[in-house]
Structure 1
Amino acid sequence: MFGFIVFIIPAAIILLHIDVLITVCVFLPLLCVVGLAQAMRQRQQRLRAASREATGLLTGAIGEIFSSVQAIQVAGAEDYAVKHFHRLSQIRQRQILRDTVFFSALQSIFGNTVGLGTGLILVLAALYRHLSPGDLAIFIAYLSTITKFIISAANLIAQYTQTKVSHQRLVDLLQGESQEILLQNDPLYLKKPVPALHTAVKTTVDRLALLKVANLTYRYPDTGRGIENISFQLQRGTLTVITGRIAAGKTTLLQTILGLLPRDAGNLYWNDRLIEDPAHFFIPPHSAYTPQVPHLFSDTLEENILLGLHKAPAEMQQAIQLAVLADDVDKLEDGLQTIIGTRGVKLSGGQVQRTAAARMLIRESELLVFDDISSALDVETESRLWQQLLQQRQRSCLVVSHRKAVLQLADTIIVLQAGKITAMGTLPELLTTSDELKRIWHGTV
């Protein structure tokens, strides 16, 4: 584009010197094409946004289907899931077709407008302006480059409009972070080997004695809901359980503590030391986190636990034993080398959760953060898991759960309602003083 501009300036001067009227007419298609491109920007932006949204819905549905295969089979909803996927595919097909046809039509209009305009100019020049053969040759020679410039300028405007939609979708994912993050460069190891994974060595400074949460607040920008003025302390070797009804803010609280959501107010302290950047601090060896739906990959079970770490077989076996996964591994056809499929589709819900627990345990972090990890476990397996996790009281656990087995083992229970702490204490205390915990305990919420 820069080369075109450098060429156009002296070319325009030469053409103006030959014939001002024809030269002005040469550039009229440029104005028409640019004007058309500008006029169509909003419509093109709406079509591109609709096609991207339809694609997002379809890919999201694919992820949900793969992560809920067992639930779909149990409910006998295979036909419904296929129909839902087919419907979303048709919506995406229509939206992308509209976007593609509109963009192609614009490109065709740009090219034809310029071609017809320049052809008309040459006819007028030959009939009425009586240009010399040399002047006519110059016009013809320069018109080719000017035509390319016009079409390139119009296409650039159209492509900019499409790119703006994609850029805005990326900005939305940043959740308020600086857009400069999108420009950061990281190496891609496509042809050369990936370097060895660097793991921080735990020191005495990393040892957790007390985690303090002070007046922590976060609200979602679109709804204004979230958590407000959350304060509590977690001591080493204890189990702290956050409980509450659906949408009380439990997961939001965990993610705000870990820096996965940007806090609006409040502070976090590790052994009375202020944590400036929770997102970079709450990683091994300080903490490890398992979300409600653990993320597994289509690789071996072993690699899903290690994720690039190099651990001795004895350490792997210990993590598997603690996660109550040893019996399941023995039953798998290839043991730890079993390929578990996309998102762990070959594993049961309980096996997925315990695989995620083993992934946490092998990193030997000071603080283990679980978001309802035992929801898919039977009572016996759940009891064994928590007993093994807490038997030595060397691990500190922050857990979201409403399960009785976990509440009974908790040293401290935090009851959330509408993003605020309404009660905090031990189970016997709260069963006496908290109506909300009574309802949770008796399953009436």
Structure 2
Amino acid sequence: MLRTVITAAVGLTLAAGCAPDSEAPVRVSVLARSSNGQYVPTQVELTTIEDIVGLKGSVGDLQGGARIVIDANDPALQNATVDTLEDVLLKKTGHDVKASYISQKDPTTGQDVLWPADFHSWNMVTSYYNLERANEYFRTVANVKVASFEPTPRLYYFPEFIQAQSSKEPARDNAIFYPVLQSFLVLPFDQIQRAPLPLNAAVMAHEYSHLVFNRLAYATQSLPVSLSTWSAESPSPGANVLKSFDEGLADYHAYGATCRSPSGCDPRFLASSFDGGPFSAVTDARDLSNGNRCMSALLYNRLYGLDVGSFSGEGSEYQVGTLLATALYQAGRSSGQEAQLQRAIVSAYYDTDPSNPGIYQLTQLVLGNQSLFTLAVPASAIISHITDLELRKAVCNEFMDHLQIPRADLIGDNLCPPSTAGGTTCPNIFQ
């Protein structure tokens, strides 16, 4: 479908111009969802771009032709340090991309608009635009300071990404924030044809949320100390909780970012890419509007009883993460204070106030005993950063209900008020 849209767009009668001017703002056509949910060529303004051909700017730096190999049997990887890890993984560092455009004057405004001249140019400039939109969401809605986005991340476009432990073939059909490289990876697509992931702004916002979580809740550590320390132990409850929160909050922020789009708030933001294809079930599994999801005794026991490899191997962090995102969605919608909740969540990632510590600070307090880092700990950090009492109570009720966090673990000063009773949707798994 998208190839047809792109071909039609390039086939318009356009006037060729000189080398495009990279000085922001730059008007350019991208593929974006319209108010009726269809992906169509859309004129937008890039406000952070510094090189429109090489697609470099303050929110990202696109690189093509990279080859990244993760092979546990690679002697160089076995002997790598934090300082040398990037050089070991990047078998080919790649090169600057080069997007091609055709210039046309908009008959309505008289302004020059750049139209991508080929498929990859459409794909790349839309990827950059979606990074820009995600960055704007976190700056304006979540109130993240500009310094937190530095250094500028790279986006490896269509790299060979090989995870040798699972396959010798390069991975496809994915968009990833890879913290080891502090970079995004937009992989070639194969089975996802409806709307490849880099064109799905919500998917890119999800990945951008992982970057923000890394920069704040992990203090920009490529190999987060808490995660790597706890993952070396079995079971790994603290690591499992961290990974679940990272995934669930990324889904909730992806939903939040859709509320600033022409198509509006979309709790099924994966549908435009996954529906009608081999991954259709993912849309329903991650639909935040399904308020009937509950923590099961089996999932609870996996969370606290498995090592992180087994927990992640079963995709359990996505299941717990969806429960978290659903709880937040229900609380935000019921209170009508979604933007305030989104801002409070991010403020809970990193806070040096000893009376109201952030998630990063809380991990450091229990680094030597991950069993103390239960679901209640990062949940309490979020709750304590919510200033509105009614919103706080709504979040408390949903956490107790969907995540089965014991009421006693959340009641306290600057936490859930004593009147909090929990929800009634989910059965108590402790009875």
Give your verdict on TM over 0.5: no
The structure with the larger Rg is 1
TM-score by length of 2: 0.25
- Where relative contact order (Cα < 8 A, 6+ residues apart) is larger, the structure is 1
